[in-house]
Amino acid sequence: MMTHLMSTRRWLACGAAALMMATSPAAMAQRAGDIEVAQAQALPSIPGARNGGGFLTIVNHGKADDKIVAASSAVCGHVELHTMSMENNIMRMREVGDIPLPAGKTLRMQPGSGYHLMLMDLKEPLKIGATVPVTVKFAGGGQMELQLKVEPRDKIAGGGAAMPGKGMQGGMH
């Protein structure tokens, strides 16, 4: 684990251009124990917005439930775990204590509903093509250093699916 963390840091130091060349969607898949992060993505931030949205596709290959209990990133002040839902015809986000990863299931975070990582107080805008380092901690004790690729909304979580309310919360992320 230690070795892995150190090599990740060294890799980060290579700069954005190298990161972009080295990073294809297939290369994003990362596994630690039973937890596999198949996709790690973020939406481009709205100009002037202080916050951004991060979205993971996570497979729990294990027989035990796990959950995300915390996340952090160097690109923002702090990262909150959020869920979004429709309440009285208004999209609302709220912070949650954890994001469940049930045994044997895949969690696909998507813009517009359900769970996401909220990158609070961005230090700079998230631009398409950029890579955002995020550390995610699990209840099982493990943690993963992920590289979220900033991609257009229709590319998130395999994307393309027309979702009701898709355009509605564009201002929120």
Select from 4-12, 17-25, 90-98, 125-133 the region that touches Cu ion (CB under 5 A). Answer: 90-98
Q: Which of the residues 17 through 76 are near Cu ion (CB under 5 A)?
A: none
Q: Rule CB under 5 A: is residue 93 a binding residue for Cu ion? A: yes
Helix, strand, coil in percent for the chain, rounding step 5 = 15, 45, 40
**Smallest distance from Cu ion to CB 75, Å:** 16
**Smallest distance from Cu ion to CB 1, Å:** 30
Query: E-assigned strands of 88-155?
Result: 90-95, 99-101, 106-108, 114-122, 131-138, 143-150
Q: Rule CB under 5 A: is residue 118 a binding residue for Cu ion? A: yes
Smaller CB separation from Cu ion, 104 or 165: 165
Q: Rule CB under 5 A: is residue 122 a binding residue for Cu ion? A: no
Q: Rule CB under 5 A: is residue 82 a binding residue for Cu ion? A: yes
Residue 68 identity (one-letter amino acid): I
> Using CA atoms, how far apart are residues 1 and 121, in angstroms rounded to an integer?
29
Select from 27-35, 37-45, 92-100, 146-154 the region that touches Cu ion (CB under 5 A). Answer: 92-100
Cβ(169)–Cβ(91) under 8 Å? yes
Cβ(23)–Cβ(30) under 8 Å? no
Q: Which residues bind Cu ion (CB under 5 A)?
A: 82, 93, 118
